Amino acid sequence: MDISLSEKRNGTQIEPTSVHGILWLQTHFESNHWESISSGLVIIPSQDAHILKNDATEAGLNVNFINSLSQLDKI
């Protein structure tokens, strides 16, 4: 896997998980965002995340998109 996209309440978190993922993301975002992206601190609108996933997949990257997770309280 090169990039992980995790849906959150306020958008989709981008987490590069390989050097290829980081390099690809660097070609798509301005340099002042690279440190935050490489640290997994960036959340983008979910619609943009779907576009990003399609572009990255077409470029040959492996992208894991987690639509949503919920944890139920234990009884």
Q: Residue 70: which pLDDT band, with cuts at 50, 70 and 90? A: low
Q: Domain spans of the chain?
A: 3-66
75 has pLDDT over 60? no
Q: Which pLDDT does position 67 carry in this prediction?
A: 78
Residue 15 tokens read as 């987490």
Q: Residue 68: which pLDDT band, with cuts at 50, 70 and 90? A: low
**Distance, CA of 21 to CA of 59 (rounded, Å):** 11
**Distance, CA of 63 to CA of 1 (rounded, Å):** 6
pTM confidence score = 0.84
- What is the per-residue pLDDT across 8-58, written as a single tens digit (0 to 9) for each? 989 999 999 999 999 999 999 999 999 999 999 999 999 999 999 999 999
Residue 33 tokens read as 């965002």
